[in-house]
Amino acid sequence: MEKTLKVGKTQWICIQNPAKETINKLAKEYAFHEMIVDDILEINAQSKIDTSSNHFFMALTFTKYIPEESRYTFNELDAIIGENLIITTTGIESETLNTTFNDIAKEVESIDGSYKSSPYYILYRIIDAFYDKTLKSLAISSQKLLDIQMKIEKKWEDVIDELISEDLDKIFFKHNFLSQEDIIDELIEHVAQFHENHLSTYFNNLKAKLAKIVRTIKILTEKNDSLMSAYNTFLSIKSNKSVTRLTFINSIFMPLTVIAGIGGMSERSMMTGPENRRIAYPLFVVLCFVIAYITYLILRKYFLKK
């Protein structure tokens, strides 16, 4: 999908899920370096910035949630800036980018001719929207962890899959956004040296917002680790209780096993002799029940003290 917007003197070309033919056509029209073409067409390229060629190029990877698959994936945002030109592409269609495009389209008349028509300001608006979306996703994740905490207290057996899923999501977020810190620093230096200084304020705001995202991810990771530790503690407690029950049961049946082994070797070896077996067997069974009950009372008293 390709959309264009004229913002003052700046032409914004917004492409989502671009075809190779489309990128090659734009590269020929605007004389992109071949490395920029490769970076755009490459799937899940790492975040990077290039200010050495005729065109400014930046690639940032963001996380996108796929509801149908209940998982996060990468969505790469590429931006190419030239004189009065900005071209943005995303590997997957982005609702956030569509919303930003529509918002700026509504503001075109009011920002015509001002510094807000600069392609770098448009780039700021796009990154800022993606960071806001990320913070909202992290807020939802924080609420999920609170829900898991409540489940651990009530029905902790059912939370392990959710804990593992949340832990993997935090690792996914962490490695994606930590790599952007150096990129944003280079972007700030580039804007400060070659473009309007007042735009630096906006990009410094991006740096602060990215730092907030990274801090939030670290906090949520620590919370997730704490809940995992709590789950392991509950699991250990349950295991200890199971071992205790088995020990309790085995302690009751152990003397009975010894008595059964002695009394059941053969009829002729029974203490009463084979001629009295009609009396000996019932008495033997009653004796086993009595011993089991006495053993139960003794062990119960012992375990209650424990």
The three-state (H, E, C) secondary structure of 100-126, written as one string: HHHHHHHHHHHHCCCHHHCHHHHHHHH
**Amino acid at site 122:** I
pLDDT at residue 75, rounded to an integer: 87
pLDDT at residue 130, rounded to an integer: 93
pLDDT at residue 72, rounded to an integer: 77
pLDDT tier at 13 (50, 70, 90 boundaries)?
A: very high
pLDDT tier at 143 (50, 70, 90 boundaries)?
A: confident
DSSP assignments along 154-181, one per residue: HHGGG-HHHHHHHHHHHHHHHHHHHTHH
| pLDDT above 60 for 45 | no
Q: Name the helix (H) or strand (E) containing 3.
A: strand 2-7
Burial class (CB in 10 A: 0-12, 13-18, 19+), 59: buried
Is 6 or 46 the better-scoring residue by pLDDT?
6
What's the CATH number for 2-236?
Answer: 3.30.460.20
Domain locations in the chain as residue ranges = 2-236, 237-305
State how far the Cα of 34 lies from the Cα of 48, in Å rounded to an integer: 16
Q: Which of 70, 92, 76, 68 is nearest to 169 (CA)?
A: 70
Is 194 or 21 the better-scoring residue by pLDDT?
21
Angle between helical axes of 180-194 and 199-263 (0-180°, round to 10): 180
pLDDT tier at 157 (50, 70, 90 boundaries)?
A: low
pLDDT at residue 261, rounded to an integer: 63
Is 161 or 57 the better-scoring residue by pLDDT?
57
CA angle 207, 51, 74 (to 5 degrees): 55
State how far the Cα of 31 lies from the Cα of 16, in Å rounded to an integer: 20
pLDDT at residue 48, rounded to an integer: 84
Average of per-residue pLDDT across 185-203: 78
| pLDDT above 90 for 131 | yes
Q: pTM for this one?
A: 0.69
pLDDT tier at 239 (50, 70, 90 boundaries)?
A: low
Candidate ranges 100-104, 114-118, 137-141, 182-186; pick with highest mean pLDDT: 100-104
Is 197 or 50 the better-scoring residue by pLDDT?
50
Q: Which two tokens stand for residue 78?
A: 């590429």
pLDDT in tens, 240-295: 666 666 666 666 666 666 666 656 555 455 455 555 666 666 776 777 777 777 77
CA angle 95, 130, 29 (to 5 degrees): 75
pLDDT tier at 132 (50, 70, 90 boundaries)?
A: very high
pLDDT tier at 36 (50, 70, 90 boundaries)?
A: confident
pLDDT at residue 172, rounded to an integer: 77
| pLDDT above 70 for 226 | yes
| pLDDT above 80 for 235 | no
B/e letters for 33-45, b = 16+ CB within 10 Å, e = fewer, are: beebbebbbeeeb
pLDDT in tens, 80-119: 998 889 999 988 888 999 999 999 998 887 776 677 888 9
Phi, psi of 113 (to 5 degrees): 90, -10
| pLDDT above 80 for 52 | no
